């Protein structure tokens, strides 16, 4: 916090020589302090060495986590596709009962998110993730056997428990491997799997629709079975593909990183804010501190009203909404794909801009604005069936805007909480009400008897974005900015005299030398 790592000279023809210098710079052979070792490694890795390390991290973490999130999103939202394949008629449910069952899912999902993230922090991803992924894959597979309203409620409640850890857990895993200036881009690429799920969901549903009647099974049964089996296989693969946390390797050998690469990967995140590192010891007091921190509650508001409500409502209603534009059931599934592909591209672009300029607030506000413009246009044009093309274009804007905000909200939370245990709890708590409140509300505001104009759904989405997200985001940004200005006025030398390095590190973001990312 007092001294940032040197930027190093520009990359040159000496990069290969630098790579050779990194050999022998591990803990066993270095006689200086840990922070000095980090500075030495940072200088040695500057240039091609760092790019090579990031490439290794990206290729190991992003495809694995993104695919898991893709399957999580598919298994969570495929009920909307199953509805178009006669699921309600076969099970004997009304549209109201269906919406209620979708809502009940979010109670167990949201309540288990902080618990799951705490268990992830304690046991590590190599143990926790294979367990939860395989479990939810099994639950998704068993959904193909649902034959009653009560059975569907039970299966959704269990699915909520098993799926809860993937989203907040992945954000936390990424925050343990990437520095604050690299985080939003990676979170955006990861979250892009959620928007891509909308695209793949439409394509898969289109293909599965042709299996209707095969072996005496309806298409919705095949949908749950196929996606569930793929998820179970992915869960088993996690034992091999998903690494643990950097600090968990300790004296263990890593087969995908060289010893000096693992050492640098661990230290560069630990000392990202300067020579006062946070503690890596798991403590329940840090969990309690996250619950008491007003930053957690501000970010919860953003995730809840500006993220979950409009995002979930769109994901569950989009196939029906496209169908209302005049397309058949099967074609409506395919027509949901282009908006999600566009949303994925926008999501990654906004994440990259957020990292490049370190302007989390403005990227979030820009995303909210784009999504809200799409909702407003859609709200108006659904009254005029002859301009269905404009309505379809508005779906692109809404899907892109509300998707792009999510990874930036996660990154903004992560970079301003350096303590790993507190960060894990903060991310989990941030998503608790967002999932319970946002998911339960979002699945019930687009009412079937109000189609195709959905006055309640559109009006609620706009109101929630402005009152529940944009205003809290602005207040949060203002308070952080004011605190940074107050700390800028302090005498750094006096602060360093008053506190030891360990004491400043223990303070985390409360340290007078810490500066919040805006």
> What's the pLDDT at 250?
67
- pLDDT above 70 (res 266): yes
d(CA 114, CA 427): 7
Q: At what angle do helices 95-123 and 149-163 cross, to 10 degrees?
A: 30
Phi, psi of 33, rounded to the nearest 5 degrees: -70, 170
d(CA 266, CA 262): 6
Q: pLDDT band for position 25 (50/70/90)?
A: low
How does DSSP classify residue 11?
P
Please compute the mean of the pLDDT values over residues 47-73 and round it to a whole number. Answer: 91
> What's the pLDDT at 119?
93
Among the residue ranges 113-117, 293-297, 441-445, 489-493, the one predicted with the least confidence is 441-445
> What's the pLDDT at 86?
86
Please compute the mean of the pLDDT values over residues 69-92 and round it to a whole number. Answer: 83
Q: Which domains does the chain have, with CATH numbers?
A: 48-273+286-510 (1.20.1250.20)
Q: pLDDT band for position 12 (50/70/90)?
A: very low
Q: What is the pLDDT of residues 501-511, one digit of tens each?
A: 888 888 989 99
- pLDDT above 90 (res 60): yes
> What's the pLDDT at 466?
95
Q: Please enumerate, as own/partner, the contacts of 157-160 that have beta carbons within 8 Å and a separation of 24 or more.
A: 157/104, 157/105, 157/107, 157/108, 158/108, 159/75, 159/76, 159/105, 159/109, 160/104, 160/105, 160/106, 160/107, 160/108, 160/109, 160/110, 160/112
Q: Are 111 and 213 in contact (CB under 8 A)?
A: no
Identify which of 6-15, 189-198, 339-348, 436-445 has the greatest average pLDDT: 339-348
Q: What is the pLDDT of residues 369-394, one digit of tens each?
A: 999 999 999 899 888 888 888 888 99
- pLDDT above 80 (res 199): no
| Strand ranges inside 360-486, DSSP E | none
- pLDDT above 70 (res 446): yes
Average pLDDT, the chain: 86
- pLDDT above 60 (res 29): no
> What's the pLDDT at 442?
78
> What's the pLDDT at 204?
76
> What's the pLDDT at 207?
79
Q: pLDDT band for position 436 (50/70/90)?
A: confident
Q: Structure tokens of 358? A: 């370190």
- pLDDT above 60 (res 48): yes
| Residues of the chain above pLDDT 70, percent | 88
Q: What is the pLDDT of residues 121-180, one digit of tens each?
A: 988 999 999 999 999 999 999 999 999 999 999 999 999 999 999 999 999 999 999 998
d(CA 457, CA 437): 15
Q: Are 329 and 406 in contact (CB under 8 A)?
A: no
């Amino acid at each position: 916090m007092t001294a940032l790592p040197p930027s190093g000279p520009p990359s040159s023809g000496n990069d290969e020589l630098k790579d050779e210098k990194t050999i022998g710079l591990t803990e066993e052979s270095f006689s200086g302090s840990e922070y000095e070792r980090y500075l030495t490694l940072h200088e040695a890795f500057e240039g091609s060495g760092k790019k090579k390390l990031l490439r290794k991290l990206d290729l190991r973490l992003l495809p694995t986590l993104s695919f898991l999130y893709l399957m999580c999103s598919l298994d969570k939202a495929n009920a909307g596709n199953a509805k178009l394949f006669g699921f309600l008629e076969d099970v004997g449910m009304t549209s109201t009962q269906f919406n209620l069952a979708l809502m009940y899912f979010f109670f167990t999902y949201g309540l288990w998110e902080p618990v799951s993230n705490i268990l992830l922090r304690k046991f590590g991803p190599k143990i926790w993730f294979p367990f939860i992924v395989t479990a939810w894959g099994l639950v998704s597979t068993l959904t193909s056997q649902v034959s009653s309203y009560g059975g569907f409620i039970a299966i959704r409640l269990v699915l909520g428990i098993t799926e809860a850890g993937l989203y907040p857990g992945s954000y936390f895993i990424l925050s343990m491997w990437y520095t604050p200036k690299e985080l939003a881009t990676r979170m955006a690429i990861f979250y892009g799997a959620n928007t891509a799920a909308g695209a793949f969901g439409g394509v898969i549903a289109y293909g599965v629709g042709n299996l209707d009647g095969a072996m005496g099974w309806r298409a919705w049964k095949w949908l749950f079975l196929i996606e569930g089996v793929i998820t179970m296989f992915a869960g088993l693969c996690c034992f091999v593909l998903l690494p643990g946390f950097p600090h968990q390797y300790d004296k263990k050998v890593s087969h995908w990183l060289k010893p000096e690469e693992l050492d640098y990967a661990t230290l560069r995140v630990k000392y990202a804010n300067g020579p006062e590192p946070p503690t890596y010891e798991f403590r329940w007091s840090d969990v309690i501190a996250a619950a008491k921190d007003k930053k957690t509650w501000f970010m919860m508001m953003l995730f809840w009203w500006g993220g979950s409500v409009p995002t979930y409502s769109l994901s569950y209603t989009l196939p029906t909404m496209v169908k209302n534009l005049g397309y058949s059931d099967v074609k409506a599934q395919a027509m949901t794909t282009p908006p999600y592909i566009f949303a994925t591209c926008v999501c990654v672009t906004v994440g990259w801009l957020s990292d490049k300029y370190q302007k989390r607030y403005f990227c979030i506000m820009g995303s909210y604005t784009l999504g809200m413009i799409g909702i407003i246009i859609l709200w108006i044009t659904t009254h005029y069936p002859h301009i269905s093309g404009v309505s379809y274009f508005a779906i692109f804007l809404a899907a892109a805007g509300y998707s792009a905000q999510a990874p930036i909200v996660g990154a903004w939370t992560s970079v301003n909480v350096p303590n790993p245990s507190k960060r894990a709890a903060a991310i989990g708590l941030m998503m608790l009400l967002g999932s319970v409140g946002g998911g339960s509300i979002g699945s019930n505001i687009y009412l079937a008897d109000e189609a195709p104009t959905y006055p309640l759904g559109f009006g609620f989405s706009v109101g929630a974005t402005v009152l529940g997200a944009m205003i809290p985001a602005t207040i949060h940004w203002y308070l952080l900015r004011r605190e940074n200005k107050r700390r800028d006025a302090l005498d750094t030398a006096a602060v360093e005299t008053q506190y030891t390095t360990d004491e400043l590190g223990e303070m985390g973001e409360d340290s007078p030398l810490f500066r919040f990312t805006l």
